[in-house]
Structure 1
């Protein structure tokens, strides 16, 4: 098994680069050193060649018989050249590449010079042939010395050529190493990763990349393997997760649909019997129970009354129609009870022996609360063992809450109807007291006057009284008819104009007076209960016109807007609003009382002989003081006109 490298990619590249750099620097240093040696040796060869020239110059000077000082100067120059070769000059550079042969030949040159130096410096003429032989011998020594240096430098030249070849080989090797290193540590891992990615793109999530190193590419490969493993696990579990999520969403949808269906039914139920029976049937279907019983508790939670049941055995219904609290698992709820599953035991002494005999094995008790007050329970019976999850418990609690709200709504509606009946009776009593009762009281006085006139035998007084009685009876009949017309008035929740038109037509038919309705402006529709009060005020104003105005024409002007305004005008006799008494005063009081119920104001403008204008001005958002006004109107619609 190959060893995994633990070095990072950057470390590997640094190591390779450092090795190549060291080799290159070493090679360059050696090349510079050899070049230095060659340069210094070449300068020494040049200096030795100059010594040959100096030798011939010295020979010529001696043969020419130059003065001794000049000859001595040439000798000194020759000494200087020998000293330079011996010591060298690093600044030029100039130095002799010493070895044994070079050392021997240089020593030979020095010894020859020591012999000839005396020859050149002695007094007296020198034989030309002798000087030539001495010069030739000395030049031959110098040539051998130069030859030994050149032999030595030829070795350095070979070394330099070798270094150049090695440098070329090193450059090629470095390129090969870099290419191989790039392939081994970069291109090859990238190729494996790319191949893995291509397989991954095709959906092969089982693909893995071999991790041979711990460098950066090794870490990337390990990360790729982890990613592929994660994708594989996600893909393998995706279908099951989607299926589970779909089932959960479907279950939630079914619960919401059931809750909506039951809520819609409860909202449309009109009686407690219909509501409880329909609720029990729907709850049993929703939870797939074998039987359902809906029980209601008294105020003290001492007895539970069975409101309705579904698929519950009739003998158990008859026996448990009224159940004492604590006598059974049903009806044994505490104030802090929650929805729970109760196992049903099969032995005869158990409190649930009737349920066991009927074949039920599990009971689900759902408390019914209204504003944290326990008002009943829903009992669900199953012929098998059941368990409830959090969502199912939440659904049952929501259904129980809707049942409690609906039952409370029916109870409140019954109370409202009862209050509406009471209020309508009081309204009828006020209407009778303010109109017919006063007329009857007037007729009673006239009857007493008639009896007195008969007793006193006053024929004229009897006729006058009979006329008054006849007028009073006609007024009473008209009041009764008008009162019934008021009670039969219907409104339109969208627009009051039709009801106003109908009211004027009835007034015109009753009195024979021409009427006119004018409506202008735009405004929000008035609530139905507000329309009722408006119509009653206008009908009372028209009644006053019929009774007291003696008008020949009546008009009703309606202005729609943020504040509705209704004005009843007549061209009758008019009156002084500040000195009104009798029946007209009663009519004004009735109108103002009705207007106050919706926060409106009644304004009367009248003067003797100029007619009367009664204006009803509504507030921006009119509402009735009593929520049962509309119910009272519905009850009034059952009256009939004689």
Structure 2
């Protein structure tokens, strides 16, 4: 029984099943009881009917016996006896039955067998002579007993009907009670818990992972389901909170990474703008420390040949174990090193097998650097190395450029002023010999003096041209503007010469080196055409040619260049040849068929040269470009 109650407490299905089973049992019991009682009442009615027939037959039997018809009396007596036997079979009273009906039936049966039947048979055969009144009185006495038996059967039938009514009312009440308990159980154990479960599920769907399940603390299936959902919700809520914390942490890390990337971008942009000084590096080191939450940093800057830093920048306490004699070994160490009080992480500033110092991060001995922090430190060390390398490379390039420029100045002076001064020195020596002789040839002295004046004027003009050349700079306007200003200057100085200028290289990207060499070459050829051609027309053309080449031609209609020009007058040609070779181009200076001189130059720019096969010969392209340009036929005869 205890197991049944335990099962009822733990299972809604079992509980509802028990209630339905009890309802069915009550209904079936009511139907069975109704059937049994109805069946018993039906026999009681038959017994009443038979008893009433016995009563009627008793009067008929008395009348027949009084008439003296023995056979009819015998037949009626047998029929009445059968009716009593039928009542006995219907009632089936046991001998131990002491009820009023059983007692009255035995009394009727005994009176019939022992008194009434012998009396009526004797009267019918004439063995006894009894009066009608006496026989009727005897029959009434027997009928009274039968009437009493009928009343007993009627009372029994009424009792059964009353009992049937009580059974039906009881089963109706029991059914109503069971139905009520069933509905109450469904409402209490199923409907309300399901409503809470549905509300909790909707809350979970909306993100509320803390449902209120006050009605679901039972041990049944829904209670178990509620506890499972509650536990699952708690796990989900905990996981959700952990995810939120992780998202916040990742967001913080991403924000920090963004700040570090922005720092690296600003540092790289600053490095590209120019070299960093010590104060700037110290500010960048301080900002980097604040971004990465690294409080102790050392930045030692050394020359590649030195063993001690020329600048030691410290943020925070730095490396407390740093000693001067350990600088060389520290700058060439890499990775973590555990000390007594601090753990050190060293990042050497190395590039092209040259060491420029070391970046040291100091931490407590029990603390380690994360991989991301190590990457940031390495990136910062690389940026500082890049800044130092660019600074060193820029200084080296400036030194090389200075030396190149000095070489160019020396070459220009040698090819111009030096030769002119040598010529003047020779003329002064001739003049000295003439003045020391006994007889002075005044015509010769006058000739030498004129040549000295002419040489001085030529030297002064060459000096001005050299100063103008050395002061030339490609401004923001580009190559076109500086050439246009030079042409305007020539026009102002020589208004008798018609100078034409055609520039079509706007769509071609030229490097600064290409612009400088092309500018100097065009200026040199233009000066020769203006000052030495003795013509009245000069044409300057810079146009794109075939195969992405650049064509430059300077033509005049003067006397034309001689077949073997004197170096004194044409010292600029060698300079033009050198500039053409620097641009890996082709220079051609020749006399034009129509008169005058043409200086034709063609080269392939750097952007186009990178796309060509290494074994390609561009000389054919130069000659085809010259023929296509048609610059030699610009002027007529």
> Shared fold (TM-score greater than 0.5)?
yes
**Matched residue pairs, number?**
424
Aligned counterparts of 1:421 and 1:448: Cα–Cα separation in 2: 37
Aligned counterparts of 1:188 and 1:311: Cα–Cα separation in 2: 68
Q: Which residue of 2 aligns with 1:88?
A: none
- Tell me if the contact between 1:573 and 1:608 (Cα under 8 Å) persists in the aligned partners: no
- Greater Cα offset, 589-598 or 508-517: 508-517
Where in structure 2 are the equivalents of 1:24-423 lying within 5 Å? 197-206=201-210, 231-270=236-275, 272-273=277-278, 276-287=281-292, 293-297=298-302, 299=304, 303-310=307-314, 323-325=324-326, 332-333=329-330, 335-339=332-336, 342=339, 344=341, 365-371=346-352, 374-379=355-360, 388-423=369-404
* Structure 1 position 399, deviation (Å): 0.9
* Structure 1 position 519, deviation (Å): 2.6
1:312-353 deviation per Cα after TM superposition (whole angstroms, max 9, x unaligned): 89xx99xx9x9323xxxx654274521557554xxxxxxxxx
2:460 to 459, 471, 477: 477
* Structure 1 position 479, deviation (Å): 0.6
* Structure 1 position 447, deviation (Å): 1.7
* Structure 1 position 362, deviation (Å): 7.6
1:469-526 deviation per Cα after TM superposition (whole angstroms, max 9, x unaligned): 1111111111111111111112146632101111223333444544232234652232
- Greater Cα offset, 551-560 or 383-392: 383-392
- Tell me if the contact between 2:525 and 2:554 (Cα under 8 Å) persists in the aligned partners: yes
Q: Which residue of 2 aligns with 1:569?
A: 555
- Tell me if the contact between 1:600 and 1:622 (Cα under 8 Å) persists in the aligned partners: no
Aligned counterparts of 2:264 and 2:441: Cα–Cα separation in 1: 84
* Structure 1 position 604, deviation (Å): 2.6
Structure 1 residues 564, 425: CA separation in 2 closer, same or farther (over 3 Å shift)? same
Q: TM-score scaled by structure 1?
A: 0.55
Aligned counterparts of 2:375 and 2:503: Cα–Cα separation in 1: 55
Structure 1 residues 259, 343: CA separation in 2 closer, same or farther (over 3 Å shift)? farther
1:538 to 522, 526, 542: 522
* Structure 1 position 233, deviation (Å): 3.7
- Tell me if the contact between 1:574 and 1:612 (Cα under 8 Å) persists in the aligned partners: yes
The structure with the largest alpha-carbon Rg is: 2
- Tell me if the contact between 1:544 and 1:584 (Cα under 8 Å) persists in the aligned partners: no
- Tell me if the contact between 2:285 and 2:315 (Cα under 8 Å) persists in the aligned partners: no
- Tell me if the contact between 2:586 and 2:601 (Cα under 8 Å) persists in the aligned partners: yes
Does the alignment pair 1:487 with 2:465?
no
- Tell me if the contact between 2:335 and 2:345 (Cα under 8 Å) persists in the aligned partners: no
Structure 1 residues 585, 471: CA separation in 2 closer, same or farther (over 3 Å shift)? closer
Structure 1 residues 447, 224: CA separation in 2 closer, same or farther (over 3 Å shift)? same
- For the residue of structure 2 that corresponds to 1:483, the secondary structure is helix
Does the alignment pair 1:457 with 2:454?
no
- Greater Cα offset, 279-288 or 448-457: 279-288
Structure 1 residues 206, 610: CA separation in 2 closer, same or farther (over 3 Å shift)? same
Structure 1 residues 392, 369: CA separation in 2 closer, same or farther (over 3 Å shift)? same
Structure 1 residues 288, 448: CA separation in 2 closer, same or farther (over 3 Å shift)? same
Aligned counterparts of 1:191 and 1:493: Cα–Cα separation in 2: 81
* Structure 1 position 586, deviation (Å): 3.4
Q: TM-score scaled by structure 2?
A: 0.56
Aligned counterparts of 2:590 and 2:219: Cα–Cα separation in 1: 108
Aligned counterparts of 1:383 and 1:245: Cα–Cα separation in 2: 25
- For the residue of structure 1 that corresponds to 2:308, the secondary structure is strand
Where in structure 2 are the equivalents of 1:573-592 lying within 5 Å? 573-576=559-562, 579-583=564-568, 586-592=571-577
- Tell me if the contact between 1:295 and 1:376 (Cα under 8 Å) persists in the aligned partners: yes
Aligned counterparts of 1:292 and 1:199: Cα–Cα separation in 2: 52
- Tell me if the contact between 2:561 and 2:591 (Cα under 8 Å) persists in the aligned partners: yes
Q: Which residue of 1 aligns with 2:628?
A: none
1:119-177 deviation per Cα after TM superposition (whole angstroms, max 9, x unaligned): xxxxxxxxxxxxxxxxxxxxxxxxxxxxxxxxxxxxxxxxxxxxxxxxxxxxxxxxxxx
Aligned counterparts of 1:525 and 1:203: Cα–Cα separation in 2: 62
Does the alignment pair 1:555 with 2:560?
no
Aligned counterparts of 1:323 and 1:336: Cα–Cα separation in 2: 15
Q: Which residue of 2 aligns with 1:84?
A: none
* Structure 1 position 444, deviation (Å): 1.8
Structure 2, gaps ≥5 residues long: 1-5, 12-185, 611-637
1:245-272 deviation per Cα after TM superposition (whole angstroms, max 9, x unaligned): 2221122123223333333444444365
Aligned CA-pair RMSD: 4.6
- For the residue of structure 2 that corresponds to 1:474, the secondary structure is helix
Aligned counterparts of 2:298 and 2:557: Cα–Cα separation in 1: 70
* Structure 1 position 540, deviation (Å): 1.2
Aligned counterparts of 1:226 and 1:383: Cα–Cα separation in 2: 43
2:583 to 594, 598, 601: 598
- Tell me if the contact between 2:560 and 2:595 (Cα under 8 Å) persists in the aligned partners: yes
Structure 1, gaps ≥5 residues long: 6-182, 345-360, 626-642
1:168-200 deviation per Cα after TM superposition (whole angstroms, max 9, x unaligned): xxxxxxxxxxxxxxx9xxx99999986764343
1:422-464 deviation per Cα after TM superposition (whole angstroms, max 9, x unaligned): 1111111111111111211221222222223332511101111
Does the alignment pair 1:424 with 2:399?
no
